[in-house]
Amino acid sequence: MSSQEVEVLVVGAGQAGIAMSEHLGAHGVPHLVVERDRIAERWRSGRWDSLVANGPAWHDRFPGEEFTIDPDGFATKDQVADYFVAYADKIAAPVRTGVEVTSVRKNNGRAGFHVETSAGPIDARYVVAATGAFQKPVIPPVVPFDAPVHQIHSNAYRNPAQLPAGAVLVIGAGSSGVQIADELRCSGRRVHLAVGPHDRPPRSYRGRDFCWWLGVLGKWDMVAPPRGAEHVTIAVSGAHGGHTVDFRALAADGITLLGLARTYRDGVMTFAPDLRTNIDNGDANYLSMLEEADAYVKRNGLELPEEPEARELGPDPECVINPILELDLAAAGITSIVWATGYAFDFGWLQVDAFDETGRPRHQRGVSTEPGIYFLGLPWQSRRGSSFIWGVWHDAKYLADQIAIQRGYLTYGLTGQVAR
Ligand X SMILES: Cc1cc2nc3c(=O)[nH]c(=O)nc-3n(C[C@H](O)[C@H](O)[C@H](O)COP(=O)(O)OP(=O)(O)OC[C@H]3O[C@@H](n4cnc5c(N)ncnc54)[C@H](O)[C@@H]3O)c2cc1C
Please give the torsion angle defined by the CA atoms of residues 139, 145, 147 and 151, in that order, rounded to the nearest 10 degrees: 50
Binding residue (CB under 6 A) for ligand X from 8, 9, 24, 35: 35
Please give the torsion angle defined by the CA atoms of residues 103, 106, 108 and 110, in that order, rounded to the nearest 10 degrees: 130
Binding residue (CB under 6 A) for ligand X from 55, 56, 112, 196: 55
Please give the single-letter amino acid code of residue 42: R
Answer whether 344's CB lies under 8 Å from 135's CB: yes
Q: Looking at 54-62, 64-72, 254-262, 315-323, which segment touches ligand X (CB under 6 A)?
A: 54-62
Rounded CA gap, 308 and 396, in Å?
A: 40
Rounded CA gap, 151 and 163, in Å?
A: 9
How far from 377 is each of 13, 234, 337, 368, CA to CA, in Å? 11, 18, 29, 13
CB of 38 to ligand X, least distance (A): 8
Give the count of alpha carbons within 13 A of 14, CB side only: 24
Choose among 49, 50, 71: nearest CA to 60. 71
Binding residue (CB under 6 A) for ligand X from 21, 131, 237, 341: 131
CB of 39 to ligand X, least distance (A): 8
Helix residue ranges per DSSP H, 41-90: 41-45, 77-90
Minimum CB distance to ligand X smaller for 320 or for 394: 394
How many residues touch ligand X under the rule CB under 6 A: the total is 32
Q: Length of the chain, please?
A: 420
Label residue 342 left, alpha or beta by phi (over 0 means left) and psi (-120 to 50 means alpha): left
CB of 72 to ligand X, least distance (A): 14
Q: According to the binding rule CB under 6 A, does residue 22 interact with ligand X?
A: no
Minimum CB distance to ligand X smaller for 10 or for 324: 10
Binding residue (CB under 6 A) for ligand X from 176, 256, 336, 341: 176
Site for ligand X in 348-407 (CB under 6 A): 349, 377, 387-389, 392
Q: Looking at 13-21, 22-30, 103-111, 329-337, which segment touches ligand X (CB under 6 A)?
A: 13-21
Answer whether 359's CB lies under 8 Å from 371's CB: no
Rounded CA gap, 338 and 181, in Å?
A: 9
Minimum CB distance to ligand X smaller for 82 or for 271: 82
Q: According to the binding rule CB under 6 A, does residue 56 interact with ligand X?
A: no
Binding residue (CB under 6 A) for ligand X from 10, 11, 20, 334: 11
CB of 30 to ligand X, least distance (A): 19
Minimum CB distance to ligand X smaller for 51 or for 260: 51
CB of 228 to ligand X, least distance (A): 24
Q: Looking at 46-54, 266-274, 288-296, 395-403, which segment touches ligand X (CB under 6 A)?
A: 46-54
Q: According to the binding rule CB under 6 A, does residue 49 interact with ligand X?
A: no
DSSP, residue by residue, 209-220: EHHHHHHHTT-T
Based on DSSP, count helices (H) and strands (E) in the chain, helices before strands: 9, 23
Judged by the rule CB under 6 A, the positions of this chain that interact with ligand X are 11-17, 34-37, 41-43, 47, 53-55, 60, 100-101, 130-132, 134, 176, 349, 377, 387-389, 392
